Amino acid sequence: MHHEIPLERRTVHGHFSAALPPVLTIDPGDTVSFQALDALWGWEPEGEWFDDLDPELDSGHPLTGPIAVRGVAAGETLVVRTDRLVPRGFGVTLAEHPTAVRWRLDNDRGIATADSGQTVRMAPFLGVIGMPPPQSGVHSTIPPRRFGGNIDCRELTVGSTLYLPVGVDGALLSAGDAHAAQGDGEVSGTAIECPLELAELTIDVRRDLDLRMPIARSGNRWIALGFDEDLDRAAELALETMLDLVERELGFDRDRALALASVVVDLRVTQIVNQVKGVHAVLADDALG
């Protein structure tokens, strides 16, 4: 079944919390579409879309949701496929104040043009896809967690599927923070931040998959994610999660999986700017003949 979430104040929030009531309840396998504000809470090039933001509850990214999924329990794995993303015609990248690069986005050509004339290829993705942790209270949208959130992985473009450990019954998925393009690291703290005319996600559940950290399937490759305040530890978590995947999918023991990973797995810095740093391990399907 297909559902639509309107862009309204009641459907947008700037924090994670298990106490937030869902704006929609769906069945596993359903598809949800929505529009999304940019990371600065904007729909137009200047100004916030809402004028009643709470300094505590709306200090993070504007997220659509939460979306409850019937029958999903904590400890299971939520499966989120990105089906469509249509940016609006503009975006912005920030650095030290007052530096701001303004972009014109051409969806037909897939090209973003900077106000100073440079062009880059667009590869839109949602920076934030995640669920609240089970702990009570208000949780920032800025750091990514085991349950997803501000992952900022540029591999999660249209057609990709993200597998997230579920922290609370019903899942309570939220998403937003669209990027028209981003480099690994997101070194200034922002990508090409843009609102979306359309985001479309298909949401399902896996009950046979126990993940230490999120994984993803993008194109012809597997991706394993690691998050920690320490970049070395984030890399360790990404690698350990990839080794779990190699053991499970290819049937190797741990030591052989590690030896083969040293030859065919790439470790990439996802982002270094979200309090908790991210590393993703990448394994292409054809890496092992």
* Rounded-to-integer distance, Cα 197 and Cα 88, Å: 6
Quickly name the fold that domain 2-206 has.
Jelly Rolls (2.60.120)
Q: Residues 38, 187, 125, 72: is their CA dihedral positive or negative?
A: negative
CATH 3.10.28.20 residue ranges in the chain? 215-287
Residue ranges of E strands in the chain: 2-5, 12-13, 24-26, 31-36, 63-69, 77-87, 90-94, 100-106, 111-114, 119-121, 125-130, 148-150, 161-165, 173-179, 196-206, 215-218, 221-228, 266-271, 277-284
CATH 2.60.120.580 residue ranges in the chain? 2-206
What integer pLDDT is reported at residue 217 of this predicted model?
Answer: 98
Is 215-287 in CATH node 3.40.30.10? no
pLDDT tens digit at each of 289 positions of the chain = 999 999 999 999 999 999 999 999 999 999 999 999 999 999 999 888 888 898 889 999 999 999 999 999 999 999 999 999 999 999 999 998 889 999 999 999 999 999 999 999 999 999 999 999 999 999 999 999 999 999 999 999 999 999 999 999 999 999 999 999 999 999 999 999 999 999 999 999 999 999 999 999 999 999 999 999 999 999 999 999 999 999 998 899 999 999 999 999 999 999 999 999 999 999 999 998 8
> pLDDT digits over 234-248, tens only?
999 999 999 999 999
The percent of the chain in helix, strand and coil, each rounded to the nearest 5, is 15, 40, 45
pTM score, whole prediction = 0.97
Q: How many CA atoms lie less than 13 Å away from 8 in the CB half-sphere? A: 6
Are the beta carbons of 13 and 58 closer than 8 angstroms? yes
